[in-house]
Structure 1
Amino acid sequence: MTQDAYAPGRETTEGTVYTVTGGDWDTLIDEEHDDRIVINMGPQHPSTHGVLRLVLELEGETVQQARSVIGYLHTGIEKNCEYRTWTQGVTFVTRMDYLAPLFNETAYCLGVERLLGVEAPRRAQVARVLLMELTRIGSHLVALATGGMELGALTGMTAGFREREEVLHLMEFLTGLRMNNAYARPGGLAQDFPDGWEVKVADFVKLMKKRLPDYDKLLTAQPIWRQRLEGVGYLPLDGCLALGATGPILRSAGLPWDLRKVDPYCGYEEYDFEVPTATEADCYARYRLRVAEIHESLKLVEQAAAKMEPGPVMVEDRKVAWPAQLSIASDGMGNSLEHVRKIMGQSMESLIHHFKLVTEGFSVPAGQVYATVESPRGELGYHLVSDGGTRPVRVHVRDPSFVNLQSMPAMSEGGMVADVIAAVASIDPVMGGVDR
């Protein structure tokens, strides 16, 4: 059938609808989208930065429409927290953004502590800062490594994961676990750092300062890397504000918004550090910001290690802290298993109290609170609601990966399909936090 056989029909919002003449029925043809193709990218595709499905409408290699489909990693963590004690909730929330577990734990514990009306001891606050900045370094290293892998820079991937292993080795020494640490607890920490932690931290900082310049040689000045990132994934400041984007995405557009500065917590106002910003608002600017933030985090780790003073790491409140933790705070006997057994074996009251705190949990006054921290991806907030019981009524998380993922269509539409990979990598979403 030739074009002459088509008769123009009514105008619609989708374009002109044409009617095929010469029959009792009409065939509607939308010529505007006739030369486009819809493809699925993911959720199994490795370059979608996780279990993320992207539905792309392409005209040639140009992306006309982009939509993200989430939910493939759904765990129901928020709902599960309603069936656990306040302390047990830490073990759940640490698994949301699994690349930044200490940020989830700290934000959650800050909210519980505000409801309780208590404040963690200074040593615990300084230790939280040290651990969060180590976690930030590890998270940014994964962002650089996976972004490099997805764009074809495999040496960047091997180097990034090599350095991240150093972070995880140190985290395992300090907290006992590489990931999902459950180390921050309402009222302080699960236990103090082991002996010799100062040397381990100093060695790590020295190693990272030696290796970080290699990333500038490998990626920053590399012509192909710059061509793949410069001018790609552009999102100006007004777009960031309209979409609620925070973290490196917002700072790459020129706004130095960092909760560690604008709304300090855990004593961040005492530390000397800068908030790196850029004005290009593209993927290359976000890459450079993450490298700069690693340098700033190393400065914070050094300062936190210098600020660490002897003292308890858990509030001295018998309604919150376990008896063994209170005894450690009072007599300084250490964290050994023998010490805990000694406390449990000497006092029947302590044993009963410990059992009730572990099984039933402590009561939290009725109320609600919103606690925030600056995670590697932006503003991470916890809205906690208590009815006065031993379990939360509601735990809702403002996860930055979930909010920032809204910017993907704005960054990708109108660009090439290959640039979608760079844009998603620059957002650095962690699907555990998106789907939670």
Structure 2
Amino acid sequence: MSTIEYKYKPGNLNASAPAFYKEENLKREEMVINIGPQHPSTHGVLRLEVVTDGEIVVDLVPHLGYLHRCFEKHAQSVPFNQAIPFVDRLDYVAAMNSEHAFVMGIEKMLGIENDIPKRVEYIRVLVAELNRIASHFVAIGTYGLDIGAFTPFLWVMRDREHIQRLLEWISGARMLYNYIWVGGLFYDLPVGFEEKCLEFINYLKPKLVELDDVLINNKIFVERTANIGVLPRNLAINYGVTGPVLRGSGLKYDLRRVDGYSVYPELDFDIPVGKGEMGQTGDCWDRTFVRVQEVKESVKIIEQCLEKLTKEHKRTRDFDPRAMVPKKIRPKAQDFYARAENSKGELGFFFRTDGRSDIPVRCKARACSFSNLSVLAEITRGHMVADMIAIIGSIDFVMGEVDR
């Protein structure tokens, strides 16, 4: 840098400076660049139109629609029970959680939600929490990969593979399960499943301590994520943000507690929130911290479910998980909204029925990833491009659910 450039750098100008160094004559050189839809750090097929001033992000516009599932039109052309495989393909990383929300909504419309056997309810929560852990492992591992940490990705994907095998043992499918049915389940737990699941949980507990050491408390990771992408609580509420992204901003809001659906009120678990331990409340570090803590809480829930399934609601020879499955699903004419806590936030389904058909007149999905992604521009402006990648990964979205 020349002497005159250093002497008259912006912010230190005075009346004696040459005219071309006057602040009013210094124009920013903004550039519009596209990141994605094939970029690995956009987590799928998200295209970001980014306005940059050098390395600083001035504005950002997310473009959606590259992975359109046509879920809502599909669901309006088949009976309720036949739409469950399409639900799996929304958030394909947490299909059990999506099925749980969809099926509970239909059961409430039919008025049979209190008739579901307790064993069925505990199995549903068990598989949903296993899938929640698997989903968070994908979020945590790929997030570390986004900002340069390779080892945690290998570790969590190794442990996620154990969960995939357990869920495949139950349903016969690796990721898209069609296991939770209206009124029951596709099949009871396989013989020996409870023992294998408990064996996995005991294996996983010390691995989570290692994950804290290698990633969450890692000095480089903290410097890359603390005070970056701060999402204030009021802004999160205004944008309809839910799940770990909202709880990372310090609000203890979890539908498993707020709505108390299924058997969650009978279980003991905490709702982790961001506290700004490494930076400001609501930053990238807080959002990742909340996911790691939620994995630990899901482990507690799974242990309690296994205890209930092996002591109070045991496997019996005459137990039929399909006993309450209705032969014809025909709710009365109504508008109905049902919601549940997916791994990424509030997943809701709106149904309009005419009382004459088992096919909904209207089916609309409220995708938590869509609402969470909408706040991206607000928390990215003013950060550097490298920080933008860290912010994107901290939101944890799945484009199949966003585009629906």
Q: TM-score, normalised by structure 1?
A: 0.81
Please, which of 409, 418, 423 is the counterpart of residue 391 of structure 2?
423
SS at 2:375 equivalent: helix
Aligned to 1:371: 338
Residue in 2 that maps onto 1:132:
128
Which residue of the partner structure matches residue 304 of structure 2?
303
1:8-407 residue pairs with structure 2 within 5 A? 35-119=29-113, 120-279=116-275, 280-308=281-309, 309-310=313-314, 312=319, 314=321, 316-317=323-324, 320-321=325-326, 362-388=329-355, 389-407=357-375
What SS does structure 1 have at the residue aligned with 2:383?
A: coil
Equivalent-residue separation in structure 2 for 1:72 and 1:32 (angstroms): 39
Per-residue deviation, residues 32-61 of structure 1 (Å, max 9, x unmatched): 976100000000001112210011100010
Q: Which has the larger radius of gyration?
A: 1
Partner of 2:13: none
The CA deviation at 1:158 is 1.1
Q: Deviations over 1:154-187 (max 9, x none)?
A: 1121112111111101111122222110001111
1:137–1:297: 8 Å Cα contact kept in structure 2? yes
Match of 1:346 in 2: none
Q: SS of the counterpart of 2:237?
A: helix
Residues 74-125 of structure 1: per-residue CA shift (max 9 Å, x gap): 0201110111111111111111000110111111111111111112221111
Cα distance change of structure 1 residues 32 and 428 upon mapping to structure 2, 3 Å threshold: farther
Distance in 2 between residues matched to 1:281 and 1:313, nearest whole Å: 46
**Which stretches of structure 1, 4 residues or more, deviate above 6 A after TM superposition?**
none
1:46 aligned partner, one-letter code: P
Q: Which residue of 2 aligns with 1:339?
A: none
Aligned to 2:61, the other structure's residue is in SS state: strand
**One-letter identity of the residue aligned with 2:304:** Q
Q: Which amino acid aligns with 1:108?
A: F
- Gap change, CA 1:32 and 1:305, over 3 Å in 2: farther
Distance 1:137 1:122 in 2: 23
Kindly state the Cα deviation for residue 369 of structure 1 after the two structures are TM-superposed: 1.7
State the aligned residue count. Answer: 367
Q: Per the alignment, in what secondary structure is the counterpart of residue 80 of structure 2?
A: coil
Question: What SS does the aligned partner of 2:105 have?
Answer: helix
Residue type at the aligned position of 2:31: I
| RMSD of aligned Cα (Å) | 1.6
8 Å Cα contact 1:115/1:368 also seen in 2: no
TM superposition shift of 1:257: 0.3
Question: Structure 1's 32 and 430: CA in aligned 2 closer, same or farther, altered over 3 A?
Answer: farther
* 8 A Cα contact 1:138 1:167, kept in partner: yes
Counterpart-to-counterpart distance in 2, 1:122 and 1:313: 12
**What's the CA shift string for 1:396-417, capped at 9, x where partnerless?**
1111100100110111111001
- 1:341 aligns with none
In structure 1, stretches of 5+ residues that fail to align are 1-30, 322-356
What is the identity percentage for the equivalent residue pairs of Structure 1 and Structure 2?
41
Aligned to 2:241, the other structure's residue is in SS state coil
CA distance in 2, matches of 1:315, 1:162: 34
Give the distance between the partners of 1:399 and 1:128, measured in 2 at CA: 21
Looking at structure 1, the residues matched to 258 and 273 of structure 2 have their Cα atoms a distance apart, in angstroms, of 15
Q: CA deviation at 1:364?
A: 2.9
Counterpart of 1:230, as a letter, is: A
The answer to whether the 8 A contact 2:349-2:365 is kept is: yes
Alpha carbons of structure 1 residues 100 and 214: separation in structure 2 relative to 1, 3 Å: same
Shift of 1:371: 1.1
CA distance in 2, matches of 1:165, 1:270: 29
Paired position in structure 1 for 2:380? 412
Kept in 2, the 8 Å contact 1:61–1:417? The answer is yes
Cα distance in 2, alignment partners of residues 292 and 425 from structure 1: 17
- Distance in 2 (CA, whole Å) between partners of 1:34 and 1:295 is 47
SS of residue in 2 equivalent to 1:87? helix
| CA distance 1:302–1:59, shift in 2 (3 Å) | same
Q: Distance in 2 between matches of 1:218 and 1:62?
A: 30
Q: Are the aligned partners of 1:175 and 1:193 in contact in 2 as well (CA < 8 Å)? A: no
